[in-house]
Structure 1
Amino acid sequence: MTHKYQIIGMSCNSCRTKVEKTLNDIEGISATVTLNPPIGTITMARHIPTTQLQAALSAVGDYTIEDGSTVVSHQIKKIEHPSQKNSTGKYYCPMHCEGDKLYDKAGDCPVCGMDLVPQAQMAQKLEYTCPMHPEIIKNEAGNCPICGMNLISKTVESDENKSYNALLRKIKIALVFTIPIFVIAMSDMIPNNLLMKIMGHEQWNWVQFVLSLPVIFYACWMFFVRAWKSIITWNLNMFTLIGIGSGVAFLFSIVGLFFPNVFPSEFKSENGTVHLYFEATTVILTLVLLGQLLEAKAHSQTSGAIKELLKLAPTEATILFHGIASKISINDIRKGDLLRIKPGDKIPVDGKITVGESSIDESMITGEPIPIDKKVDDAVIAGTINGNKSFVMIAEKIGSETLLSQIIKLVNDASRSKAPIQKLADSIAKYFVPIVVTISIITFFVWAKFGPDQALVYGFINAIAVLIIACPCALGLATPMSVMVGVGKGASSGILIKNAEALESMNKVNVLITDKTGTITEGKPSVEQLFSLNDADSDNLLQITASLNQLSEHPLAKAIVKYALEKNISLIETQNFEAITGKGIIGTINQSKVAIGNKALLDEIKCTIPEDLESKVNAQQKLGKTVSYIAIDGVSVGFIAITDAIKKSSKAAIKELMQQGIEVIMLTGDNENTAKAVANELNLSDFKANCLPEDKLKEIKRLQVQGKIVAMAGDGINDAPALAQADIGIAMGTGTDVAIESAKITLVKGDLQGIVKVKHLSHAVMKNIKQNLFFAFIYNTLGVPIAAGVLYPFFGILLSPMIAALAMSFSSVSVIANALRLRNIKL
């Protein structure tokens, strides 16, 4: 028997794995658990009560299981998870240890110990202050009421800068104390050592100890805190190894300083003092701190594309109220407000022009460098830049509703998502630290037994080097850094990617299904002619046709209504309106039943089509026109021919995709003749006409059964099911919200050339990820054995723990630096 259960309390994939394992450990149960939706599908040989399942889950965490056997996937109630409760947080782990979870406060990741990274935020309300009297804070520019000076914008130091500046202060302190320690320790190698003439070796050891205290207990203490936290939670990570390695060296040195007699002669120098490692400890920690500083700087660059998007959002706007213009904060704009946009201004919110015209630079949103001419009733987008003319616009979408806000949210979410390829790194990272610690212990004992003179010293140093050089951090950062930069690069080119999985899957696509209207064509249909069997009634037929279409949202309907209004045809009341998906519309006008649509609609209402009408329709269709039949009271009375130009870029984009080995198939609800005309012009080898939404869905499923990786490009409500079913749904940004919501990739410009770009981007990102993973794997595969001393018997080469620390620090930085190269690819 199989049952479905709702499971409350899972916040990440780690929780899902734990719950699934716990349920499978119960005898007689086979369980599969999904995170979104939070459902457990359990097959059991005999009935096991929910109370027993709950007891097992309560033992491993704060999870609740509820009987949901009668609940199907689309009826599951919405459950607030801890991660959703934290959705207002603004910090995340750069290694995404807990998926896309956000945290409310800055600090360390509870899993890996890495510094949490601040998420990019939209600009807040501007505040102004006086440079002479900082206690004066105003919401708008002006003069200081105390001294009369101009108020200046109050800029708050970002969390990202705070983190970087804090690390910078610590590295300065660490260097001030570490450099003298290093000089003292290395002075033995200098002939006629001047330091030994000032004080003896033992006294200088005490100086090293005192100088090391600020480094260990202030500048680098956070590493030991993270190491301890990782051990007690058993989330072993890079800081576990650093903490153990440097901590052992420091404790060894303290014991050697205070109790030198407990050590055998092998650990002592010629003058009888124990070899101490204060310099190794402080240099290692200082180099790790340097690595953290460089990482913090590099992290800020990986989110550079998001920051550039954030800069697009203005903080103020000019509102018109009773004809008077005044400045207001962008946060105070309401829907319906009239806003004056001056030359060079950034558009503050989404809306449309009501008075005037201008050319607007939309390159930051669409990636298209040529300014677009806009006139009355044309839409304008927040963040785009006005040209050299002034106009008035009405605010229609504000705050989080604007396209710019949605883009920023989508890019932020996608940047925190995990790509499937990361599973390999995650699997290895789980066992990485225990394996390294084991290798370190083995290294010590092998050197102690088989090493040369002072074998214990060699064993001790090499064991520490093994701990220090290993870097699970480079492995963990390999994928998310490339994803973050790649998603940002896409956004700056008008390509919005919903998650990392979509970015990876796009590289594997071998079939592209594309809609016709609005995808291949402009999506701006215009009426070419209306044909009536009775020419004298053509105006009356146009009035009836437009009146019925005024209730439809379809682009063809809007074109017909616009055509009638341009001819000064008045519209009349329509009753019993009904839209029949994929076929057309019906309704009642002047007590007559009117139907407008394709041949399938006329077949449904059992309306015959005269031969002479059919021949005229065929002639129009062969020219690539879309034709809608008109029937009144079950009798065909004419048709309306509509043209929709093919986008100039469609032919070139399809040709390039086919050259890359992608099979392009057009599926359209239009008739065979029109579809064939378009397919011939585009040199398409395959197309299907008269497709209803379910037909597109079936075709995608058929191709998927054959093992094809299918991408679907569309822009209408009818395309939503197919977009959701495809391996990669690609929505045209010029289409409907439903289509965009169903898709994994959105092309803001609504251009097939965007598919060529995203294919190129996907390939570049996956190549970059593989380079990072290779580097991380090869670094650890070679670095750990070298640190253990495998080259010593053959070449006499040993790796100092300090050199190991330097290599470890730069391994993570190099992974990030390689990911940053994606910013320079040309799409």
Structure 2
Amino acid sequence: MERNETQTGLFSVTGMHCAACVARVEKALRHCEGVREVGVNPATAMARVVYDPQCCTADGLRSAVQAAGYDLLTGGGDEAADEADRRAAADYRLLRRQALLAVALALPVAVLGMWFQSVGWVRWVLWLLASVTLFVCGRSFFVSAWRQLRHGAANMDTLVAVSTGVSYLFSLFNLLFPRVWESRGMEAHLYFESASVVIAFVLLGRLLEARAKGRTTEALRKLMRLQPQEVSLVEPDGAIRRVRIGEVRPGDRLLVRPGERIPVDGEVCEGSSPVDESLFSGEPLPVLKQPGAELFAGTVNLRGALHMRATRVGDGTMLAHIIRQVQEAQGSKAPVQRLVDRVAAVFVPVVMTLAAVAFVAWWAADPADGFTRGVLALVTVLVVACPCALGLATPTAIVVGIGKGAENGILIRNAESLEAAARVDVVVLDKTGTLTEGRPEVTDLIWCGDGDRRAACFSALERCSTHPLAAAVAERLGGQPHPEVSDFEERPGEGVSGRIDGETYHAGNAALLAAAGVAVDANAAAAADRLAAQAKSVVYFADSRRVLAVAGVADRLKRESPAAVQALRARGIDVWVVTGDAEAPAREIARQAGIESFRAGVLPQGKRDFVRQLQADGHRVAMVGDGINDSAALAQADFSVAMGRGSDIAMDAAMVTIVGSDPTKIAEAIRLSRLTLRTIRQNLVWAFLYNVIAIPVAAGVFEPLFGFGLNPMLAGLAMALSSLCVVGNSLRLKRAVLTERPMRRTAAEHPHIEHTESVSENNTTMKKYRVEGMMCDHCRAHVEKALNALEGVSAHVTLDPAVAVVEFSGREYSFAELQEAVAAAGYTLREM
């Protein structure tokens, strides 16, 4: 409870279908006594309500929403979340069946109705198919419209139900009583195809929208599941019993076994073990926890048993704090959606009023035939103004944009993901896994004297250790034989020792060598100092007398990172690095990537606060990360991007996911988002403009003056054409170019060059080739190594697309010579 004695509740809302529904739910909640603030997010179907619990309860809020024709899930914890998920999944399955059936029925209805309705039996087939389409597939529209009518409200479902219902009844009347019109010299037209096509289009649009926003709450579900539901409680007498997580209180003593997640925040009382804290720090190296060290809920105990004392439980843990941050950040609305909400709130009643006015005006103006003309005008207005194009404006652009992005390794979540991208002026990058490879590698291996003769001993010793640095060394020396290691000993935080063929060997840091009495000579010390100055972890390898090797281990910068940073800066975007790592490696990585601004030692809350501070300074911020520790900052940012090889939770919290984790895709994602958002706006302008023009024509305003008007048949065609215009405009995204041709820039500044011809700058020549036969990153590395082995050649190879950009600083090799070098590695080169 907050200091002002209000309570904030997050509730799932069911039954909403459009912006008018959102406005109706918000209105119902605001009218409850004690409610201070209301926000309903249509993308997540969540309502955030700040209320005074002394004046109203969650059950009271639910009653108010139910009275408005919707439902509010007020249960707490996973039970309510699971119920919301079950309802959403069931609704989606039903919607999919209805949409597919409606499309299957509407197609023959449209064909028969447009060209064959003069055939007697066809008219009855049209009636049968249209009846199934409306009252089976489109039943939900009529149910929702009736529910809204009972509460004195109207939404998009009301307009769909009225327009299709009037068209259907009018057609049914003409089918049963054609002589009413024929006696007046008019043809008894049927408009079943208009009703069927309207239902099919709206259901299809609704299905596309549901697919786009279906997983928006999955990140929260995964975060909540990180905390174990049962823990091992240590009693005062030493007995251990399993209890529910909700029974744990501050001060309780808990046992965390190897491989288990830390259940609550606390501190180590007994034991020693490395703990994977990448959940919060984003760093791949585990942290050794000894008595007195702090532990966080959701992190993983890797090896030894730990006894801990609980300090923060329930909503007080850092994990719970991150969950709340993600919930709050995802609860906001995109500005363009709020504009659509305001327009949609008055769209339905305005259209229905205009249709009624047209009917009355015709009836009053022409007492003889005015009633007939008025009915036709009413039906025509309702049919032509059906919000089909408006409903398709956003989802079609999203679907095409998502498809375009997927072809280029960019996954876009939904319409909200696109709103802020056009104005992004700051990109905040996580370091580990985003700019770097995300795993420690041996970058330097310096042998002292004849130490390389003991490489097999170094490899065998490190293979016995479980430390990530040891694994990196073992991987580097993977081709060595494996002699047997005896008397193996691992010193947490220092390194390992063991005997091989009667000799004692050590692998670890300087403290390990000092404890073993091994002196570090001047050459080894100089090498270690140089590696440390480059922010690399130093691993010594020594026997009982002297240092045999010095290895430098670091999280290597991705080859594409400098080009990615350059591409962002070329678009006028400021770039920051914000990481949980120490200052020295953060500074070095920023320098290598060409980034001037960085912040180090930042925990998840600090990342989110930094993004918030940039926003407070007037910036539109894009956050790029790959770990759970980035999820709160990703949710807070105006535009968020997750790297595809990182955490699932980061990907679920982000608006865009980069498949393959190529950072050069960040700039492409921003451009694709801008193009898609522009398409959405064009679609919305067309949808509104279409109604502004079509409604007066359908009402017959121009018929007395110019003899020009619409009948329901042409209105149905116009409605269909308006939808086709929206879809056609969205399909133009398929031909969009995401990588803009850079300005004059050298290969070192921008290796992803989009032209295929040779470029000569600064005495260098560059060419681009297609590579065939690559299946994975190892293949890519083999091709790159084969090309770089040629003297004076600097090659950069990407897997997706499978392209090699080759720079010649000396003589330019012929295609045959390049092909020969690549063929020796088992691949094929093709000219572009």
**In which range does the TM-score fall when normalised by the shorter chain?**
0.5 to 0.7
Q: Please say if 1:32 is aligned against 2:38.
A: yes
CA distance in 2, matches of 1:298, 1:727: 26
Q: Which consecutive residues of structure 2, in runs of 5 or more, have no partner in the other structure?
A: 149-156, 213-331, 499-505, 512-519, 739-832
**Mapping of residues 650-689 of structure 1, within 5 Å:** 650-668=561-579, 675-676=586-587, 678-689=589-600
Gaps of 5+ in 1: 69-75, 90-100, 109-115, 118-161, 181-206, 259-267, 306-416, 578-584, 600-608
Distance across 1 between alignment mates of 2:56 and 2:702: 59
1:420-435 aligned at under 5 Å gives the runs 421-435=336-350
Is the contact made by 2:410 and 2:659 (CA closer than 8 Å) also made in structure 1? yes
Structure-1 separation of matches of 2:732 and 2:209: 10
Alpha carbons of structure 1 residues 548 and 713: separation in structure 2 relative to 1, 3 Å: farther
Question: Partner of 2:720: helix, strand, or coil?
Answer: helix
* Partner Cα distance (1:444, 1:778) in 2: 23
Counterparts in 2 of 1:295-444, with a 5 A limit? 421-444=336-359
Matched, 1:178 2:117: yes
3-state SS of 2:737 partner = coil
Structure 1 residue 596 displacement after superposition: 7.1
The TM-score normalised by the length of structure 2 is: 0.57
Matched, 1:232 2:232: no
For 2:92, the equivalent position in structure 1 comes to 102
CA distance in 1, matches of 2:159, 2:95: 21
Structure 1 counterpart of 2:32, which letter? I
Q: Does 1:747 align with 2:658?
A: yes
3-state secondary structure, aligned to 1:774: helix
Measured at CA, do residues 610 and 6 of structure 1 come closer, stay the same or move farther in structure 2, by a change above 3 Å?
A: farther
Question: Could you say if the C-alpha distance between residues 176 and 708 of structure 1 is closer, same or farther in structure 2, counting changes exceeding 3 Å?
Answer: closer
Q: 1:673 to 1:534 in 2, by over 3 A?
A: farther
| Inter-partner Cα distance in structure 2 for 1:297 and 1:2 | 42
Compared with structure 1, are the counterparts of its residues 707 and 543 closer, same or farther at alpha carbon in structure 2 (3 Å cutoff)?
Answer: farther
Distance in structure 1 (CA, Å) of the matches to 2:22 and 2:646: 36
What's the counterpart of residue 483 of structure 1? 398
Q: For the Cα contact (< 8 Å) 1:667–1:688, is it kept in 2?
A: yes
Does residue 758 (structure 1) correspond to residue 669 (structure 2)? The answer is yes
Report what 2:192 is aligned to.
285
Identity %: 29
Aligned equivalent of 1:797, options 708, 724, 732 = 708
Q: 1:6 to 1:65 in 2, by over 3 A?
A: farther
Give the alignment partner of residue 463 of structure 1, picking from 369, 374, 378. Answer: 378
Q: Which residue of 2 aligns with 1:445?
A: 360
Task: For residues 200-222 of structure 1, give each alpha carbon's deviation from its aligned partner in whole angstroms, at most 9, with x where no partner exists.
Answer: xxxxxxx8xx8744433444663
Within 1, Cα distance between the matches of 2:591 and 2:9? 52
| Residues 614-653 of structure 1: pairs in structure 2 closer than 5 A | 619-620=530-531, 624=534, 626-628=536-538, 640-642=551-553, 646-653=557-564
CA distance in 2, matches of 1:539, 1:466: 88
* Cross-structure match for 1:380: none
- Residues 220 and 502 (structure 1), Cα distance of their counterparts in 2 relative to 1, 3 Å cut: same
Alignment pair present for 1:784 and 2:699: no
Contact 2:209–2:395 (CA under 8 A) maintained in structure 1: no
1:701-760, Cα deviation, whole Å (9 max, x unpaired) = 432332333223334566555445544443322345555455443222211111122112
CA contact (8 A) 2:576 2:598 kept: yes
> Quick check: 2:581–2:601 contact (8 Å CA) kept in 1?
yes
Matched, 1:808 2:690: no
What is the root-mean-square deviation of aligned Cα atoms in Å? 5.2
Shift of 1:800: 3.2
Local SS of the residue matching 1:526: strand
CA apart distance, 1:559: 1.6
Letter in 2 for 1:443: A
Distance 1:442 1:711, change over 3 A: same
Q: 1:648 offset after TM fit, Å?
A: 3.7
C-alpha distance in structure 2 between counterparts of 1:302 and 1:598, whole Å: 59
Deviations 1:36-62 (A, max 9, x none): 696764433954466755655665568
Relative distance call for 1:213 and 1:487 in structure 2 (3 A) is same
- Aligned pairs (5 A) from 1:91-240: 101-104=91-94, 108=98, 116-117=99-100, 164-174=103-113, 177-179=116-118, 212-219=123-130, 222-223=133-134, 226=138, 228-229=142-143, 231-234=145-148, 235-240=157-162
8 Å CA contact 1:212, 1:278 repeated in 2? no
State the one-letter code of the partner of 1:766: L
Contact residue 733 and residue 746 of structure 1 kept, 8 A: yes
Residues 786/767 of structure 1: CA separation in 2 closer, same or farther (3 Å cut): same
Quick one: structure 1 residues 709 and 776, their matched pair in 2 at CA, closer, same or farther if it must change by over 3 Å?
same
| Residues 412-443 of structure 1: CA deviation (Å, up to 9, x unaligned) | xxxxx997634543543444333222112212
Say which is worse superposed, 33-42 or 773-782, in terms of deviation. 33-42
Name 1:243's counterpart in structure 2. Answer: 165
The answer to whether the 8 A contact 1:10-1:82 is kept is no
Distance 1:795 1:54, change over 3 A: closer
Residue of structure 2 in register with 1:559 after alignment: 472
Aligned residue identity for 2:6: T
Higher alpha-carbon deviation: 55-64 or 801-810: 55-64
**Matched-pair contact (CA < 8 Å) for 1:419–1:479:** no
SS in 2 for 1:746: strand
The answer for the alignment partner of 1:72 in structure 2 is: none
Secondary structure of 1:237's aligned partner: helix
Structure 1 residues 443 and 106: alpha-carbon distance in aligned structure 2, compared to 1, 3 A threshold:
same
Contact 1:302 1:820 in 2 (8 A): no
Match for residue 43 of structure 1? 51
- Letter in structure 1 aligned against 2:667: V
Cα distance in 2, alignment partners of residues 705 and 751 from structure 1: 30
Deviation for aligned residue 1:278 = 1.2
Q: Given that residues 12 and 45 in structure 2 are in contact (C-alpha distance below 8 angstroms), is that contact kept between their aligned partners in structure 1?
A: no
Shift of the 569–299 alpha-carbon distance from structure 1 to 2, 3 Å rule, reads farther
2:665 partner letter = G
Q: Distance in 1 between matches of 2:142 and 2:199?
A: 18
Alpha-carbon spacing, 1:178–1:418, altered in 2? closer, same or farther (3 Å)? farther
Matched pairs, number = 583
Conserved 8 A contact 1:483-1:500: yes
Q: In structure 2, what is the Cα distance between the partners aligned to 1:61 and 1:286? A: 30
> How has the CA–CA distance of structure 1 residues 278 and 214 changed in structure 2, closer, same or farther, with 3 Å as cutoff?
farther
Aligned to 2:302: none
**3-state DSSP of counterpart to 1:512:** strand
Q: Find the counterpart in structure 1 of residue 184 from structure 2.
A: 274
CA contact (8 A) 2:635 2:654 kept: yes
> For residues 672-726 of structure 1, what are the alpha-carbon distances to aligned partners after superposition, in whole Å with 9 as ceiling and x for unaligned?
6655555445433323456566654543343233233322333456655544554
Task: Choose 11-20 or 491-500, whichever is displaced more.
Answer: 11-20
- In 2, are the aligned partners of 1:257 and 1:276 still within 8 Å (CA)? no
Determine the C-alpha separation between the residues in 2 that align with 1:715 and 1:509: 20
- Whether the 8 Å CA contact 2:95–2:207 is kept in 1: the answer is no
> What displacement does 1:560 show?
2.7
TM-score, length-normalised on structure 1?
A: 0.58
Give me the whole-angstrom Cα distance separating, in 1, the residues matched to 2:159 and 2:662: 45
**Counterpart pick for 1:705 among 598, 611, 616:** 616
Residue 6 of structure 2 corresponds to residue 2 of structure 1: yes
Structure 1 window deviating more from structure 2 (497-506 vs 753-762): it is 497-506
How far 1:770 moved relative to its partner? 0.8
CA distance in 2: counterparts of 1:538 and 1:668, whole angstroms: 39
Secondary structure of the structure 1 residue equivalent to 2:619: coil
Structure 1 residues 288 and 735, CA gap change in structure 2 (3 angstroms): same
| 1:4-49 alpha-carbon deviations (Å, 9 max, x no partner) | 5575774658787666544432334335366769676443395446
CA contact (8 A) 1:292 1:809 kept: no
Q: 1:622-662, CA deviations, whole angstroms, 9 ceiling, x for partnerless residues?
A: 6x562347799xxxx99742356544432222222112121
* Partner of residue 494, structure 1: 409
Structure 1 CA distance, aligned partners of 2:29 and 2:83?
21
Distance 1:477 1:733, change over 3 A: same
**C-alpha distance in 2, partners of 1:736/1:46?**
41
